[in-house]
A and B are shown apart, each in its own frame.
Chain A
Amino acid sequence: MATFTLNVNGAARQVTLEPDAPLLYVLRNDLELNGPKFGCGLAQCGACSVLVDGKEVRSCVTPVSAVAKSRITTIEGLGTLDKLHPLQRAFIEEQACQCGFCGSGMVMAAKALLDRNPAPTNHEIRQALNGHLCRCASHTRIVRAVQRAAKELRA
């Protein structure tokens, strides 16, 4: 067991656990963040994606010790119901899901994309999200939502 002070969504959070515990379970169970989801535990689906120092990582295969000195951002760190981030607003306005289980990972991947490319083409959005699976098949709505958010962020 070891104690880590993690920087999650701008706040210092102390956790005591095995250093190889995957970040996903720390976020979900210790810090009670619902955004990142368990989908496969194999880094294949993207439901668990969070940002680490601004880059998308799969939290299900990332040991907590590897991110102890980094800035970790989950969808909870983007905005709240009362103060939505443009990406959250866009996904809600485009009704860009059915079950929504993939949604948090999609938003975080889109955030990483828009941070490095504020005006992506639809093709670039599809490429950026290609490692994310959506089983309800809301893909076209998700692409529309990312475009909508990009536009708002540029305005």
Chain B
Amino acid sequence: MSTSRRDFLKTGGALVVGFTLVPRLAGAQPARLPGSLNGNRRLDAWIAIEPNGRVTIFTGKIELGQGIGTALSQIAADELDVELARIDVVHGDTACTPNEGQTAGSLSVEQSGTAVRFACAEARHILLSAAASKLGAPATELKVSDGTVAAPGGASVTYWDLASAADFKREASAKVTPKPASARKWVGKSVGRRDIPKKFTGGAAYVQDLRLPRMLFGRVVRPPSPGATLTAVDEGAVKRLPGVVAVVRDGNFLAVAAEREEQAIRARETLKRTAKWTETASLEPSGDALFRHLMSATAPAHTVVDKTSPIAATPAKTLEAVYTRPYQCHASLGPSCAVAQWQEGALTVWTHSQGVFPLRADLAKAFAIDAKRIRCIHAEGAGCYGHNGADDVALDAALLARAVDGRPVKVQWMRDDEFQWEPYGSAMVMKLAGGVDAQGHVVAWSHEVWSHPHSTRPGSSSGVSLLAARHLAGASPPPPPNDVPQPAGGSDRNAVPLYEFSSVKVVKHFIVDAPLRTSALRTLGGYANVFAAESFVDELAAAAGVDPVEFRLRHLKDPRARAVVEAAARRAGWQPRGGGGPRLRGPHAQGSGFAYSRYKNLACYCATAAEVEVERATGRVRVTRVVAAVDAGQIVNPDGVVNQIEGGVIQSASWTLKEAVGFDRTRVTTRSWADYPILRFDEVPDVEVVLLDQPNERFLGVGEGSQGPAVAAIANAIAHATGTRLRALPFTPERVKQALSAKG
């Protein structure tokens, strides 16, 4: 690595960075390269061999507790033949890492892992060529052990000796074949995550832990509601409070910086108390009316799939059902945080954004400066589960930092900032209709979905996504929302069934006018669509009088799909059943439920079996056990996959049983954990994960694989336990009790 690049990393200093990692290619389209190599084609964008015996891997994907740094180091160690401990990983820094867009969509191993694998295989080849000329032996006869290259006669040279001779300043060819599965030493092994030890010993692990000389502490004072306008505030009084250095008021943006953190918090409270706002009732109706409102919205119906069988079989039984999902929060445990500093017209931001390059693009638009004058550096935050306030707080910090004469400012959102202003997972309505023939085959299937946007992240070609930009006097409009196209889909993610149904129609209503800001929450529309579709599969199975597992298998051809279904059923001890009546009557009804999906219809395969107990008197649902069987293709770190899948199951159980954003026509009423309970220790199920490793297959993303199957398995288990089908999330005790008593 060049001295300048290493110095950047060390100092983290503000500076304008002139070099580009992606050479401009004139003329013909270059050959397609694997994974993110395609957009970041130089070898030295990905790997550096250091003379001091270290290897640095550069990735545009950021660590958010999913263990990507560890997975990438395993892949690199294998291809290079070095010990894992020699590898350093640099994540997301606009000055020195590849631009891989967002760390999202369960794509990091697929995109970055594939790139690192091919880049390292090629780097090893280059190093071996250099070693061959140095040792006077053909490259094919050289052996590498932890970076030491030995010739048959015993002469050797190390990668570190060859660091200057090996030229990585070239475009990758991806022509060096990576190792076969049998030759891998690290991939496939549950090595401990590299980010964990410091997290349990008080190390500086998060952006919250960053301390810079002369750093100030900032807080924002958000409007009381989305439609509010700031009419008056006594800035002078707040400026006189102890420690206050600056109050920034610009349109509806109000923020304060102080010498000490508790002083900033106190100043924020004073501003909150004294600022005058006019509010307007700009929000949608809440409760059941919300879903009627969504279904009546004037969004054009867009046909996603319309595949009708030429042989028009007549269903023997037809069903129709409407399912709903409320607005839900990311609810990161640590509210969003960023540190920003302006020096000589250049801005440096330390951020837990999922995409430092897209964030930089939006900051450049917000400040109307060249993106080259902004450097965004990843530092971990609390788990985000999608697009939360991480990007927004970066602009808040930059706005405050601009007012304090070169001093760095750390802005930490308060709990109510996060709950009230993070972009939510959209409320959704799913209307399912279908029919089975006399033999118990699905001959008609229709899935219609109503939803607001699921991706309003920074980095769009026009507009600024960042929250404060819409509050400033010279407000920038947010980007026009687009839905993620199929086959991954956004609002219609996982709405297209992978079952062999003879007639399928999928329609979406993409409602762009969202009074509450919505964006990517883990799985986008997948969670709600799988909830609806896999609940409805069970409803049709019951109508056909066929066991739910058998019913799925008879409509699944893909052997890998069948394998996870069979594996989950086997581990769960699934008892085949007919129409699916309650297993046990009494104060605690018990039931089991099954579900399957392949995330995005493209990533990992996951089948789940859930067991629940429903307390009839209170309506309280307890999920006692969930089995998940997963095929994630080639597994890099088995324990990492298990961690993602079991975390996904439990988080999904929390969404499913508890979570909904509260609001009235004017304000969001969810402000603290008291208003937004999540699953606690005494409520979490036991989770068992069965991994179906495919060492010769490609990577399949796993981070969002289990949320969809988990919600549907729980819904199906409740239906099995009680004989009552719940179609409105979340399944709170009140709602369950109401459904049970309505049934009588």
Instruction: Using CB atoms and an 8 Å cutoff, list the residues of chain A in contact with chain B.
Output: 17-18, 21-22, 25, 28-29, 32-35, 37-42, 44-45, 47, 74-76, 79-81, 84, 88, 91-93, 95, 97-104, 107, 125-127, 129-130, 132-143
Nearest-CB residue, chain A, relative to B649: A137
Main secondary structure, interface of A, reads loop
A95 touches B260 (CB 8 A): no
16 A-B pairs besides A21-B260, A88-B201 with CB distance below 8 A are A18-B242, A32-B211, A33-B202, A47-B334, A75-B201, A80-B201, A91-B196, A98-B67, A98-B644, A100-B205, A127-B682, A129-B681, A135-B332, A138-B647, A140-B686, A142-B681
Number of residue pairs A-B, CB distance < 8 angstroms: 175
- Main secondary structure, interface of B, reads loop
With both beta carbons as reference points, the residue of chain B lying nearest to A98 in the complex is identified as B65
Query: Hey, which chain A residues are within 8 Å of B651, CB to CB?
Result: 135-137
Contact of B333 among A91, A134, A139, A140 (CB under 8 A): A134
In the complex formed, the residue of A with least CB distance to B384 is A99
B594 within 8 A of A: no
* Number of interface residues, chain B, beta carbon within 8 A: 61
Cβ-neighbour of B202 out of A40, A97, A104 (below 8 A): A104
Quote the shortest CB–CB distance from A4 to chain B (angstroms).
14
Q: How far is the CB of A58 from chain B (nearest CB, A)?
A: 12
Q: How far is the CA of A100 from the CA of B385 in the complex (A)?
A: 14
B200 touches A40 (CB 8 A): no
Name 17 interchain pairs, CB-CB below 8 A, sorted by A: A34-B206, A39-B334, A39-B415, A42-B415, A76-B201, A76-B202, A92-B197, A98-B65, A99-B333, A99-B380, A101-B382, A102-B333, A135-B678, A137-B651, A139-B650, A140-B650, A141-B646
Are the C-beta atoms of B654 and A137 separated by less than 8 Å?
yes
4 closest cross-chain pairs (CB), A and B: A99-B65, A137-B650, A99-B383, A100-B199
A99 and B64 within 8 A (CB):
yes
Which residue in chain B gives the minimum CB-CB distance to A38? B412
Assess whether B205 is in contact with A34, with CB atoms less than 8 Å apart. Answer: yes
When the two chains form their complex, are residues B261 and A25 in contact, meaning their CB atoms are under 8 A apart?
A: yes
Chain A residue, CB-CB nearest to B681 = A126
Which chain B residues lie closer than 8 Å to A39 at the CB level? 333-335, 382, 415
Q: Does B232 lie at the interface of the complex (its beta carbon under 8 Å from any beta carbon of A)?
A: no
A101 & B672 in contact (Cβ 8 Å cutoff) = no
Contacts A98-B65, A135-B678 given; does A141 touch B331 at CB 8 Å: no
Check if A101 sits within 8 Å of B334, measured CB to CB.
Answer: yes
Does B682 contact A130, Cβ atoms closer than 8 Å?
yes
Contacts of B265 in A (CB 8 A): 41
Residues of chain B from 296 to 351 with CB closer than 8 A to chain A in the complex:
331-335
- The CA-CA distance from A39 to B65 in the complex, in Å, is 17
Given known pairs A92-B200, A100-B196, A104-B200, the reply for A135 and B646 (CB within 8 Å) is no
Q: Which residue of B lies closest to A137 (CB)?
A: B650
**With A137-B646, A137-B684, A143-B681 in contact, is A34–B196 under 8 Å at CB?**
no
Task: Find out whether the CB atom of B383 lies under 8 angstroms from the CB atom of A98.
Answer: yes
Q: Assess whether B40 is interfacial by the CB under 8 Å rule.
A: no
Annotate B636-671 by CB proximity to A: 1 below 8 A, 0 otherwise. Answer: 000100011011111100100000000000000000
